[in-house]
Every structure is written in structure tokens, then in C-alpha cells.
Amino acid sequence: MMQPIGANHISPAMMRDPAAEAASQAALAKSLSEQQAENEEAKELYQQFVGETFFGQMMKSMRKSVGKSAYFDGGKTEEIFQQQLDRVFTEEISKTSAADFSGPMFDLFMNQQRIGG
């Protein structure tokens, strides 16, 4: 015989185990923190790539626009060291200012991933 729903009836929502619910929330929080850590790592790599690519191309174009000096040309050796110096400059400039323009690009990329995925 079925009991009528009344004051003695306990709904399934009320029967949840508090320990299981706390564990579920902890697992969700851990998952979210791991996802945020992955997003931060991806953002840093994205900023590094975009910054080094952008500033690298800028330095390369800048070097092409300046002619060689007739008296102070170091030849092939200077070109090699100049490329290495430009790479160091590019990395440092990228660390300090790449986030300014790559941050919005990364946010748009992540929004597209959420919508598409």
C-alpha cells in the first residue's frame, strides 16, 4: 500500500548525503582550479608566441630598412650576433608588452572555443 505524500514524506533531494555533496563540490572546485591553471598556462604560451612573432617580424623589418655603414660593417659575424641580440630584445619586449595586445586576442579565441566546442 502506498503512503500518501505528507509531512512524513522525504524527497530524494532531502536524502542527499552531506559528505557526498561536499566531496562533489570539492571535486568540482578542483576541476575548475585545474582548468583555470591550464587556461593561464595556455594564455602565457599564447602571449609568448604572439609577442615574439609580432616583435620578431617588426625587428626584422626594421633591420632591413637600415642600410649598412660603409666604415663600420662587421660582415657576417655582425649579422649573426645582431640576430641573436634581436632575439633577446624580442623576448624581453614580448615579456613586458605582449599581453597588451595578445590578451584580447586570447579572450576572443577562448570564447570561440566555448561556443564551437
CA–CA gap between residue 65 and residue 68 (Å, rounded): 10
Assign residue 49 a region (left: φ > 0; alpha: ψ between -120 and 50; beta: otherwise). Answer: alpha
Taking 90 as the threshold, does the pLDDT of residue 25 lie above it?
A: no
The distance from CA 117 to its chain's CA centroid, rounded to whole angstroms, is: 17
Burial tier of 51 (Cβ tally within 10 Å: 0-12, 13-18, 19+): buried
Three-state secondary structure of 72-97 = CCCHHHHHHHHHHHHHHHHHHHHHHH
* pLDDT computed for residue 85 by the predictor: 92
Taking 60 as the threshold, does the pLDDT of residue 6 lie above it?
A: no
Sequence spans of domains, the chain = 26-65+75-116
Assign residue 69 a region (left: φ > 0; alpha: ψ between -120 and 50; beta: otherwise). Answer: beta
* pLDDT computed for residue 30 by the predictor: 72
Residue appearing with cell numbers 585545474: 34
16 or 5: which leads in pLDDT: 16
CA–CA gap between residue 87 and residue 97 (Å, rounded): 15
Q: Sign of torsion, CA 52 97 111 35?
A: positive
pLDDT in tens, 53-68: 999 999 999 988 988 7
